[in-house]
Structure 1
Amino acid sequence: MEILSPEITYNTDYQPQEISFNDLLLALYQGCKSSDGFVDFIQAMQNRYNLSGVAMTAVDNVTHQLSKTWICGIPESLLEWYLEEDRMYRDPMRLRLQKQHLDRFDVLSIEEPGKTLDEVLDLGEFNHVAETRDMFDLAGLHIYSSANESMGLYLHRNATVGAFSPDQAEELHQLVPHIRQAMELYRGLYEKSVEAMGLAQALESIESPLLIVNQFLRVCFVNRPAKTLVNTCDQMHITDQTLSFSEPEYQQQLARYMQSVFTDNVSIAAPPMITVLRPGKPSFRLALSPISTGADDERAHCLMLQVLPPNNDESPEWQCISEKMGLSKAEARVCEALCDGLSIKDIANKLNRQESTVRSNLKSAFSKTGHHSQSQLVAAIYRCCR
């Protein structure tokens, strides 16, 4: 077995042999916990169905790059050609599967009887692939799609072996729920792999609240102070092991940052901050830091959220807010109180105004500054008045 990159496992040890359907299922579910993933399963698929090649690939939906792949029986030269100029993303079979979202394998000889591959898929630049591989029939399955990636399984048959039979196609359809279940299990174990890093004990000793989430906002680790905070905070929630915020703006800020780290692979030197306002209570800040799950892999797989105490510095005064942000005295005083963590009702009581007046002042401040939420406005004020 040869590893071409951290994302691609290429099996070069293929030896044809007979394999039963039960052995095929066993190889599939063993792949959930294997360090090699599903490489044994795709070899078992090749044996079971006399395939010339098998590929199980996940493609990043933004960068169009392969994120994880298991391949058997496909020449390295062909794989390299696919990797050039993101051809994997434009593969006609992949696009067909994503469009259809079938709950079964799409077997071309069965679904489009009497038609050639070129007639079904409009191969274009991929036509020489079929010619080089002597490709006679093709079956594919769309396994899953997420915000970050989509995964499919592709089975190639050459002219010597011939097309898939109806019985083989039916057996492939029976595999579909097993494949999707196994991949869901694998993703769950992969996402939680941070717990196996030996970090838990060290992180538990940190006195400040701290959480680690994966790219799907699934909570991989939460220390005791963070549990206490979440249980008493009306802004942060952990439901079904997933982190969420009551205020959509905080959720959006976190999503934008995670997009830059996990999808755009942007390296950020200093951890950004999300200031979380709590009506009637001191605000707190979330410092966001990407972390990887292994010493040999520098890519970020998880995100550490460290909850910092409220800023002990005095809140910006309304005179500075008025000058720096171009606001009237009334608008600036509302913003000053907002920076103190006060709610609309508390601001109205403090300034002896009607709540409707406070809301009107705040709306005017939004309009003048170009911000659309309290958290955005407060963050901008702190940047300008520090």
Structure 2
Amino acid sequence: MKSDLDAFCSEVYDGVDDPQMFEKSIQTATRMLGVARAHLFLLGGENGENDLNFTANFDPDFLQEYHTEYINIDYRIESIRNKRVNSVLLEQDINDENQLRSNPLHNELFPKHKVYALMGSNISVNGSLGWFGVSSLRKGMSFTQDQQTLFERIIPHARRALHLRQLRQEARAQMQAFQSANDSMTHGLILTSGDNIEYANKRAKDILAAGFLYMRKAELTCADPEERQKLQLAVRRANSGRAPLVRLADKRTGDIYAVQMFNPLPRFIDGKLESARNMTYKIVPLRGPEPPTEQTIERMKQFFQLSESETRVISASLSMTSLAQFSSARNIQEDTARKQLKSAMRKIGVQSQKQLFQLHEQFKIFL
């Protein structure tokens, strides 16, 4: 008996990590208690995503048949819910004499699947219904005091393990929702604890993969020596309780990054702020507008009837090329380039470079 009890406890708590071990544990319970079948379940809220439901030695169709045809007439549910948690319940504790004679549960389902006398317990948690039940080997067979005592010993372990498993599933679902929400962000998010990176969303991983920013011992650093110094200074400020925002420029690509870091869990010891063990990094790429394509420029030229010179200066403006650079490259006077730009903007109907960029974004949809 003792070895079976130890095996049951080991298997049922292993079920917290591996749900299949719950089925093995109640198989052990049937052997240990000398019963025919066992049923262990804990409901998991309204949507049923976290329901846990395990059987031993039942016909595979039993649960499906019960839930589709008999659950709505199972009068015992409220009675079980109102019983003291972890107490041993026998037939007389949950059944009604009239229902025993007339309810299809007793006259059809149980005889069909050879479910005889029942012994069980209310293992509900935080309002979610739970049940751990076993059935006798033969019709008319009752449970001995030894069986009841041993059953009473294993009930709390089954309830606790199911609850822990359910908490594990809920935590995992919350983490998946958290990751899904953060993976849709347009900025990078990195959470660190000590020397470990606890979480990095997809945007952060993409930014780090570019190579300009990278993690070293769970601290954000930079490939450019000058920009690295700015980042290191910001880290020191974050360690002292601030939330600095630093601008970093990748000279190779022209990309700009806004990086903010802060300690999400500040701790004070003897009135002084402890050096941060945790750090949160937010990284926002600040790329300039995409240069115009030849196709979009051609569409604008045709639509607004721009001349060749007006089209060229508009393209340069949208490419963030200064008039001085443009005029030098075209070997014309800067004043001439300025007049061409004003003429083009007048035809287009815009009065600023900002409005020009907005109109360009609208024209990008045309093939």
**TM-score band, normalised by the shorter chain?**
0.3 to 0.5
Query: Which one has a bigger Cα radius of gyration?
Result: 2
Q: TM-score, normalised on structure 2?
A: 0.43
TM-score of the superposed pair, with normalisation by structure 1: 0.41
In terms of fraction of residues, the more strand-rich structure is 1
